């Protein structure tokens, strides 16, 4: 029987039981790929991660990321949560104030910004959706095609069909048809990602919701890769003029996550706080 160090971390929040939970197994080298998938199905969280020895000498650790149904090359909230977990577990970064994660997408740089962790988003790849695909997404979301202000299929290691609606309030009011959204996956996407702007002066600038029912995640509470795709589209199309903004996600699920996005010349930095809620061992 293996005894594996384990943490469950709430990400994009400093408050336990908010944000988005990720299960982190810190002894990933001791677990087979098949058992990783079985553990991820058992936790039934949107993602479960396994911290392994890196194969690239520039990395501090290697991360494998699983949904309840499959392995992902990259995902945002598991990256932030796992970075929090390895630091809590005692890992000393090779460079002060900076972690390097190896994953299926390559090397991901993570900066330690006080109590926040911010990842450098992998370079986004854009595909322009056809009008029939936009219409199918609108039908799945329960809105009119004309309600979609902009749309793009964006790959940051996870592929999100990302659309903008009229406002954050409209996004929060959505009641999607999960069967229709799941039927879209054959076009090569993980799910559908929706955002809308709030007027200035509030606690958040943007509301985001991310739906991936085909992967067993009807709605991701607070999605790092989804927010990364939103940030990429916001930057590409000049939706916001600011060099930074805060996105809200998860209030529809009682989670109330906050995602910080910062733009510099060449990089989108995305992250926030994280807090360990469960710590102990798994026995396999």
CA atoms within 13 A on the CB side of 130: 4
Per DSSP, helices labelled H in the chain are 33-43, 76-88, 131-141, 168-172, 178-182, 224-237
Q: Are 208 and 226 in contact (CB under 8 A)?
A: yes
In terms of DSSP bridges, do strands 98-103 and 206-212 run parallel, antiparallel, or are they unpaired? unpaired
Q: Are 63 and 102 in contact (CB under 8 A)?
A: yes
Q: What are phi and psi of 88, to 5 degrees?
A: -65, -35
In terms of DSSP bridges, do strands 257-263 and 106-113 run parallel, antiparallel, or are they unpaired? unpaired
Q: What are phi and psi of 172, to 5 degrees?
A: -65, -25
In the set 47, 102, 207, 219, the catalytic residue is 47
Q: Are 283 and 3 in contact (CB under 8 A)?
A: yes
Q: How far is CA 72 from the centre of its chain?
A: 11
Partners of 71 in the β-ladder: 66
Distance set, CA 54 to CA 26, 63, 89, 171 (Å) = 13, 8, 17, 40
The verdict on whether 47 is a catalytic residue reads yes
**Tokens at residue 230, please?**
């939103």
Q: At what angle do helices 76-88 and 224-237 cross, to 10 degrees?
A: 120
Question: What is the SS3 assignment for 133?
Answer: helix
Please list the active-site residues.
47
């Amino acid at each position: 029987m293996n005894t594996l160090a384990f943490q469950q971390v709430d990400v994009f929040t400093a408050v336990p039981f908010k944000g988005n939970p990720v299960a982190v197994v810190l002894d990933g080298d001791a677990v087979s790929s098949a058992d990783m998938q079985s553990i991820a199905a058992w936790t039934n969280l949107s993602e479960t991660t396994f911290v392994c020895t890196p194969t690239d000498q520039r990395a501090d650790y290697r991360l494998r990321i699983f949904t309840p149904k499959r392995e992902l090359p990259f995902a945002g909230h598991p990256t932030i949560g796992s970075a929090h977990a390895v630091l809590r577990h005692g890992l000393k970064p090779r460079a002060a104030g900076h972690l390097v994660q190896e994953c299926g997408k390559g090397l991901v740089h993570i900066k330690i910004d006080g109590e926040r962790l911010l990842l450098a988003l992998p370079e986004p790849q854009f595909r322009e959706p056809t009008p029939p695909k936009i219409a199918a997404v609108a039908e799945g979301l329960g809105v009119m095609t004309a309600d979609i202000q902009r749309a793009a299929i964006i790959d940051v290691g996870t592929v999100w069909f990302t659309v903008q609606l009229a406002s954050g309030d409209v996004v929060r009011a959505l009641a999607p048809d999960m069967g229709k959204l799941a039927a879209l996956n054959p076009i090569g996407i993980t799910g559908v990602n929706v955002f809308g702007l709030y007027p200035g002066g509030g606690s958040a600038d943007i509301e985001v919701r991310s739906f991936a029912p085909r992967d067993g995640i009807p709605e991701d509470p607070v999605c790092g890769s989804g927010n990364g795709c939103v940030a990429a589209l916001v930057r590409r199309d000049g939706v916001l003029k600011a060099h930074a903004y805060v996105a809200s996600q998860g209030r529809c699920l009682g989670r109330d996550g906050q995602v910080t996005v910062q733009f510099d010349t060449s990089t989108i930095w995305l992250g926030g706080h994280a807090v360990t809620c469960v710590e102990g061992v798994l026995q396999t």
